[in-house]
Amino acid sequence: MTPIAFEAQDLGHRFGNRWVFQGVSGTFKAGEHGVIRGANGSGKSTLGRIFTGALQATSGTLTWSAGPDAWDWQQRDALVLNTLLMAPAAALHPDLTVREACAFHGRFRSWWPGFEPLKALEDAGIAHAFDKPLRTLSSGMRQRVQLTVALGTESGLVCLDEPCANLDQRGIDWYRELLQATRPRTTTLVCSNDRKEDHLEPDWVLELR
């Protein structure tokens, strides 16, 4: 899997008559670790969805490239199979057990070579919950499962929205180790309310106000 680069030109997005943000431009290189930072309501989660192809911007242009391959909005099916978004709106099915959710996801997307999702979750301290439905788990335990899926899936671009929400200190330490191991393999974006634990030392920071 080749890390994805992307270029934004004057991106803007609105819901109804309200513009969430306007005038976002930049060239973001493959393999970089970036942070989209802003307060609640600034549009950082929306921009993360746009950067991963999960949502189309209201205005402006956005193109992605990975080696010889390039995608635009007319080729979003190809793009979304090479990106991954971890956000509340991208939750796993609540009636599946942890073990079933990992197996189900693995039928449609490949894990990074050598990555074992259940081993990662064992390291996260939730081996005792492997056969429990996700809906019965605490918010922190569900967050660990989502992070495992996001960082363990072979992707050219990964966006993590508020990754440390609901995590205790042990969970934060585990997450940062997993992020550190994944960072050299792909392009990683983190949407954050300026929480330092959410990300590693970034290559760039995009501020939304």
Determine the pLDDT at residue 49: 92
Determine the pLDDT at residue 140: 93
pLDDT digits (tens, 9 = 90+) for 107-153: 999 999 999 999 999 999 999 999 999 999 999 999 999 999 999 99
What pairs with residue 33 in β-bridges?
188
Positive or negative, the Cα torsion across 99, 104, 107, 112? negative
Share of the chain above pLDDT 70, in %: 94
Determine the pLDDT at residue 72: 64
Residue listed under structure tokens 């439905």: 133
Determine the pLDDT at residue 82: 87
Q: pLDDT tier at 39 (50, 70, 90 boundaries)?
A: confident
pLDDT reading at 24 higher than 80: yes
> Considering the chain, what is the average pLDDT of its residues?
92
Share of the chain above pLDDT 90, in %: 79
Nearest to 77 by CA among 90, 93, 64: 64
Determine the pLDDT at residue 76: 66
Beta-sheet strands, E only, within the chain:
5-15, 18-28, 33-37, 59-66, 69-71, 83-86, 157-161, 187-192, 204-207
For the segment 26-30, the average pLDDT, to the nearest whole number, is: 94
pLDDT digits (tens, 9 = 90+) for 163-192: 998 899 999 999 999 999 999 999 999 999
Determine the pLDDT at residue 68: 73
Positive or negative, the Cα torsion across 130, 134, 135, 137? positive
